[in-house]
Structure 1
Amino acid sequence: MTPWTLEAALRRAAVRAYGLAPDDVPLVWPRNDHAEEGADAASALAPRLVRLVAGRRSRPSAVSGRVVGELARMRDEGLVDYAHADDDARGFVNVTFTDAQHRDLLAAAANGPRLLTGRAWNGQGEWPTTPLHEAGPVAQARRLARADARRRLAIATAEPPPPPGPDDAEVSWRDPYLDGEHREPVTPAARVLGTVGEASARIAFCRSIPEHPREAETTGRDLPVLPSAEYPGAWVRLTDANPAFRLRYAHAHAVSRVRWAGEGGTEPVPCLRHTTRVRGLLFDGTSAVDTAVRREEPHILVRYLEALASAYDEWRTCPTADPEGAERASVDPALPAAVAGVLRTGLFLLGVSAPTRL
């Protein structure tokens, strides 16, 4: 069950319940973070439908009740896979997935472009990547990086279909700026790129909200919005304090874990609570990308990827009561493959490479 399939099922249920034309039903992405405890996703479609189908005096819960009832009939008719749905006081439709649907979500997320944008990309293609070292002031490089991210997001989600995107080729940690491949011109922008590297610079430039930040503004502890060669802050570090490093490391770890699974590795049985958290964030990726595109705010994508990487870190480091005697099982590649697919695609849309080796 993906956001695409659930949104389509809810749309069809609304059409059947009220005799609407499909195009009259507003697009409302179901989200995990809107769901009640125990549910996998919730949709705010019913409150959006109230004025359209029942007048201002009708309660959203009455509309959602009819949508839920129609979903149940569609399930009985074999039109949708089994999933339990109910409504709540907000008028949201809450849906609980089956184990098979959980597995389907992970399998779908492994193809990050299809999950996040509804399209499958293959190979490499031509996407906007402005040479940031040609900018003069750091603020100008920031504007160029943000423009690149906005254009890449727009290309990925608009008609006609986008050119080929990220593939599964090996990607190293090498950085053209840190390796000294760009030596001219020597500008403040070029100097900061030579200090922190392109990946950290692009994430730093896209992470903040204001278009015209104050010079000393930060987006967290020791994370300047406009890093400089003299004060790069944590953007220069190869530690978790640097969001860019953390995102790229999480991808490299997830890819390595999939590789380890293929070699027959074993691991302690993962914590269910953290597994549920990662699955929920994977489900919310579609909405995060759509919101970033509509609002033209790349920081929404950056913060989403950071939340996913943090949840993955908690999943992979989940302590057991007795690590030595903990129950072990073969490494299941499904969840790390899903995380790798989404992180790789998200980083690509920001113009950042995703290393594949630790």
Structure 2
Amino acid sequence: MTPRRMEAAVREAAVRAFGLPADAVPFVWPRNDHADGGADAATALPPRLVAAVADRLPPPRGGHRGEVAARLARQLSDMRDEGRVDFARVRADGRGFLNLTFTDQQREALLEEAADGPRHLTGRAWGGEGEWPLTALHEAGPVAQARRYARADARARIALALGAKAPPPGPEGESFWRDPYRDGERPELLTPAARALGAVGEDSARVAFCRSAPEHPRDSETTGRGLPVLPSAENPGAWARLTEANPAFHMRYVHAHAVSVLRWAEEGAFPHAACPAHAAPALGLLFDGPSALDTAARREEPHILVRYLEALASAYDEWRTCAEWRTCSAAASATSAALPAAVAGVLRTGLFLLGVSAPTRL
């Protein structure tokens, strides 16, 4: 069950339950992080519908969000009995949210779609005309100017991905770890911005520049331990490290690991099995991907996408640790490459929208 299909099912339930025209039902992203009581996803549509359906509810509860949620839950249950939807469970909670638990088949469908990152995150294939904007950061003078360039690039690429026209083709082929700035393939690094790129590399710089929310940060500001908002040649911080302390390296490493798992699985050399509990956080974050990208686009805040991708990479690490080292006593699920394929698809696409490469080999 993908977020768009779930939203469409709940929208249809609202139309049927209250006799509303389809265009009167607001679009509300269902979210895994809104779910309660072990559900896979929840929608806040019932509170948003209260005003529109108050005159259609009997007193004294007219317009109460709990009644709206309960009616939607009953309608979805009827639709399930009719074979129109296939949720394992539908439940209204005390907040007036509608919680849905997926079937195993719906979880498998989510993983299958997420492996195609562009289609999953934006709802369509990328094959239009034009080019993705990408400014040469070394042409900036001060590091703060390079930061403005990187953030403008990320905003423009995210807007292009979700715009009215079909986006240009997305990332293709293999990508490697080499960096033109750190490997000395760029012009002389004369300006502060160029020297910073030589110290941390372009990919780490772009993540660093997009990771914080303020448009005009203080020179000393950080986004975590050893993570300056404006990394420089004199103070690169952890952005220069090839360790998990560098969020850019960690996300790119996770992508490389996930792609390598797929190769190992094809060769039959590395069976990956993990308990469902360790797969669940990654599955939930995969479900939330489209809404995270949509929010980043609407607010024009690329840090929302950065933090989402970081969370997904960390969730993959949980799954990988359990799969490789059997860190818990729970029964492992069947060996499958579906989850690493899905994580790789979303990470590759999200990093691409930030102007960051995603290496395909460890």
TM-score range, shorter chain: over 0.9
Task: Provide closer, same or farther for how the CA distance between residues 132 and 331 of structure 1 changes in structure 2, counting only shifts above 3 A.
Answer: same
Aligned match of 2:249: 245
- Structure 2 portions without partners, runs of 5+: 56-60
Matched ranges for 1:28-43 at <5 A: 28-43=28-43
After the TM superposition, which parts of structure 1 deviate over 3 Å for at least 4 consecutive aligned residues? 122-125, 266-269, 326-331
Q: Supply the AA of the counterpart residue of 2:317.
A: D
The CA deviation string for residues 297-349 of structure 1, in whole angstroms up to 9 with x for no partner, is: 000000000000001011101243699xx988874110000000000000001
Counterparts of 1:38 and 1:25 in 2: how far apart (Å)?
A: 27
The CA deviation string for residues 184-224 of structure 1, in whole angstroms up to 9 with x for no partner, is: 46211000001100000000000001000000000000000
2:128 and 2:168 in contact (8 A); partners too: no
Aligned match of 2:326: 320
2:199 and 2:233 in contact (8 A); partners too: yes
Taking only the aligned residue pairs, the percentage that are identical comes to 68
Counterparts of 1:62 and 1:206 in 2: how far apart (Å)?
A: 42
Whether 1:80 aligns to 2:85 is yes
1:266 and 1:330 in contact (8 A); partners too: no
1:200 and 1:244 in contact (8 A); partners too: yes
Whether 1:218 aligns to 2:256 is no
Counterparts of 1:3 and 1:149 in 2: how far apart (Å)?
A: 24
1:265 and 1:330 in contact (8 A); partners too: no
Task: Provide closer, same or farther for how the CA distance between residues 330 and 52 of structure 1 changes in structure 2, counting only shifts above 3 A.
Answer: closer
Of 133, 138, 141, which residue of structure 2 is paired with 1:136?
Answer: 141
2:87 and 2:100 in contact (8 A); partners too: no
Q: Could you tell me the TM-score, scaled by structure 1's length?
A: 0.95
Q: Could you tell me the TM-score, scaled by structure 2's length?
A: 0.94
Aligned match of 2:267: 263
Aligned match of 2:350: 346
Counterparts of 1:121 and 1:280 in 2: how far apart (Å)?
A: 24
Structure 1 counterpart SS, 2:175: coil
Shift of 1:166: 1.7
Q: Supply the AA of the counterpart residue of 1:304.
A: Y
Which region of structure 1 is more displaced relative to structure 2, 216-225 or 49-58? 49-58
Shift of 1:158: 1.2
Aligned match of 1:228: 232
Matched ranges for 1:1-358 at <5 A: 1-54=1-54, 58-121=63-126, 126-167=131-172, 169-184=173-188, 186-267=190-271, 269-318=273-322, 319-320=325-326, 331-358=335-362
Structure 2 counterpart SS, 1:94: strand
2:50 and 2:68 in contact (8 A); partners too: yes
Task: Provide closer, same or farther for how the CA distance between residues 322 and 82 of structure 1 changes in structure 2, counting only shifts above 3 A.
Answer: closer
Shift of 1:179: 1.6
Q: Supply the AA of the counterpart residue of 1:200.
A: S
Counterparts of 2:48 and 2:332 in 1: how far apart (Å)?
A: 47
1:32 and 1:281 in contact (8 A); partners too: yes
- Structure 1 portions without partners, runs of 5+: none
Which region of structure 1 is more displaced relative to structure 2, 204-213 or 274-283? 274-283
Q: Supply the AA of the counterpart residue of 1:84.
A: R
Counterparts of 1:57 and 1:208 in 2: how far apart (Å)?
A: 44
* Count of aligned residue pairs for this structure pair: 355
Counterparts of 1:76 and 1:128 in 2: how far apart (Å)?
A: 49
Structure 2 counterpart SS, 1:86: strand
Task: Provide closer, same or farther for how the CA distance between residues 321 and 289 of structure 1 changes in structure 2, counting only shifts above 3 A.
Answer: closer
Which region of structure 1 is more displaced relative to structure 2, 175-184 or 36-45? 175-184
Task: Provide closer, same or farther for how the CA distance between residues 58 and 316 of structure 1 changes in structure 2, counting only shifts above 3 A.
Answer: same
Counterparts of 2:120 and 2:109 in 1: how far apart (Å)?
A: 11
Task: Provide closer, same or farther for how the CA distance between residues 250 and 12 of structure 1 changes in structure 2, counting only shifts above 3 A.
Answer: same
Shift of 1:78: 2.2
